[in-house]
């Protein structure tokens, strides 16, 4: 099986291309993964979903927690079809789907135990302030990923972004200057503009950024006007529109210098998004139609990226 080849592999480049993290990171994550698995099984017993935790019997090809963790990481990193995934691990495509559906919540719980998962909801300026007090200045940007054309006509119109005639889904991401992903909002259709999504998540009627330095790009133009002049929002300078009096509008040397400094600061969030897209479940076109799967792709990719830079 492919896992046996993985255990003998010594090339760090090959290992990262298979699971997205190094072997020492894999070993540490596996210990927490086992704890999380047992916690979830005990919760299922208490909730009456299952009568007892299986101890004996046939465990199938994924008969150890190393194999279980490798299986779900391999899927997120390579994002192969369930037919190919089942072929590599020795079972049917249906069983591959069931195992992915079973182990993604376990991986989420294990990343939560390691305190590397991004936050999913910030309801008050106080919560945002507490996050900033720990990590410092923040950078906000949107991350957009292509997806298959939905069968529903209504959903198809919502997810048509117009960029390269593709259907997409997107989320709002907040990172710090050390490239950690601090927050990922709910996943929305690609037709929604980044700034409209920001105003939905952070209501402009509340004083979100009065004491917080936040760095934005020109996709969020108008944020200072909507959130108030006293905010600490940093936006790059924008060229004026062409006119008869000004046929070739140009920024001043000082404005260009400030824009360069702004870009040098904002590059951290681009690295964070690029780190999330190391996992091909976000890099390639998302084939899964279930919203729960898409949500896991964004959330787990952010947590795994934080794990990579933390360990």
Mean pLDDT for each consecutive 10-residue tract of the chain (311 residues)? 87 93 93 92 81 68 90 95 92 93 94 92 86 82 90 86 85 91 89 89 86 87 82 85 78 88 90 93 90 92 93 77
Contact of 5 with 89, CB cutoff 8 Å = no
Q: Residue 36 phi/psi, 5° resolution?
A: -65, -40
DSSP string, 4-64: HHHHH---HHHHHHHHSS-HHHHHHHHHHHHHHHHHHHHHHHHTTSSSS---SS---S--S
Tokens representing 231 are: 């905010």
- At 261, which helix (H) or strand (E)? helix 253-276
- How much is the mean pLDDT over the chain? 88
Q: Residue 30 phi/psi, 5° resolution?
A: -65, -35
pLDDT of the residue at 58: 62
Of 183, 101, 91, nearest in space to 140 by CA = 183
Query: Which CA distances in Å does 130 have to 94, 178, 181, 236, 304?
Result: 44, 17, 15, 26, 23
CB neighbour list of residue 230: distance below 8 Å, 6 or more residues apart: 210
pLDDT in tens, 200-247: 988 888 888 888 888 898 888 888 888 887 778 888 988 888 777 777
Query: In whole angstroms, what separates CA 165 from the centre of its chain?
Result: 23
Domain ranges in the chain? 2-113, 125-310
pTM of the predicted structure, to 2 decimals: 0.89
pLDDT of the residue at 69: 95
């Amino acid at each position: 099986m492919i896992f046996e080849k993985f255990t003998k592999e010594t090339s760090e480049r090959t290992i990262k291309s298979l699971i997205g993290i190094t072997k020492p990171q894999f070993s540490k994550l596996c210990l927490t993964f086992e704890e999380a698995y047992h916690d979830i099984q005990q919760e299922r017993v208490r909730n009456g979903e299952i009568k007892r935790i299986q101890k004996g019997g046939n465990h199938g090809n994924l008969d150890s927690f190393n194999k279980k963790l490798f299986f779900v990481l391999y899927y997120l990193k390579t994002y192969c079809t369930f037919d190919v995934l089942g072929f590599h691990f020795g079972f049917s495509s249906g069983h591959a789907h069931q195992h992915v559906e079973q182990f993604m919540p376990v991986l989420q719980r294990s990343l939560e135990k390691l305190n590397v998962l991004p936050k999913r909801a910030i309801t008050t300026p106080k919560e945002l302030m507490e996050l900033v007090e720990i990590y410092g200045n923040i950078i906000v940007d949107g991350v957009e990923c292509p997806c298959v054309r939905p069968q529903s006509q209504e959903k198809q119109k919502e997810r048509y972004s117009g960029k390269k005639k593709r259907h997409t889904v997107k989320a709002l991401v907040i990172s710090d200057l050390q490239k950690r992903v601090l927050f990922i909002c709910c996943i929305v259709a690609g037709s929604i503009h980044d700034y409209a999504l920001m105003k939905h998540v952070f209501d402009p009627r509340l004083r979100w950024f009065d004491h917080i330095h936040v760095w934005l790009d020109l996709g969020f133009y108008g944020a200072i006007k909507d959130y108030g002049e006293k905010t600490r929002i940093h936006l790059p300078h924008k060229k004026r529109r062409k006119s008869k009096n000004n046929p070739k509008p140009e920024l001043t040397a000082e404005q260009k210098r400030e824009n360069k400094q702004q870009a040098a600061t904002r590059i951290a969030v681009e690295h964070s998004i690029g780190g999330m897209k190391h996992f091909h479940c976000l890099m390639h076109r998302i084939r899964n139609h279930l919203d729960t799967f898409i949500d896991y792709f964004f959330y787990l990719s952010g947590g795994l990226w934080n794990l990579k830079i933390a360990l």
